[in-house]
Amino acid sequence: MRGGLRLHLLVASLVSVLSGCSVAGDFGAVVEGNVRFRRGDLEAAAASYLSVRRPSLAPVVDYDLANTWAVLGETKAADELYSKAARGGEKRLGGDAWYNLGLLRLEGGRWGEAWAAFREALRIDPRDDAARRGLEIAWRAWKKEKTAVPPRPAPASGASFGGVSQDLRLLRRLETGVWRPGSGPSQSGGGNDW
């Protein structure tokens, strides 16, 4: 995941210290969650993020919590939170959320959705080279999947009645003149009626 958001959170925490105690507690919880995330204590990081009650911090908390869920393998929860953060946060946070959403979908083999997410990240920041590379990778994989030749069906066994190989044998006999319609045991009355 990209690290562009860390400076944003440090600046926000300094502003919170200057503006009030309850606000500082919520910002402190976000910063504490980020420290725990970097240390690899993901459950404690998630608990810190979930303790934040301030609605104005919801996009930041959604983004950071999505990072945590993504690392823990909870891709559905991460996908939902990245989507919320992308739509509800400030411009830079939105770009980072779209980028991470693209990565998550790319890793999940959802090429078209990954392409769309990377495209949104580039719409926000056209100079984002990592998003441009992700967009190209998703595009190539998406097109490759759409143009891939479907796998051949497994050959049917000749033992089963009506199997492919039995049909091919009958066609071959008909084409070579070994068998003619109307001749054979089924027409004599004593054979099966198929």
The pLDDT tens digits for 22-47 are 556 888 888 999 899 999 989 999 99
Amino acid letter, residue 188: S
pLDDT at 82: 93
| Sequential DSSP letters for 138-152 | HHHHHHHHHHPPPPP
Which superfamily does 5-147 belong to? Tetratricopeptide repeat domain (1.25.40.10)
Averaged pLDDT, 109-135: 93
**What is d(CA 62, CA 85) in angstroms, rounded to the nearest whole number?**
6
Q: What is the pTM (predicted TM-score) of this model? A: 0.64
Arithmetic mean of pLDDT, 145-153: 66
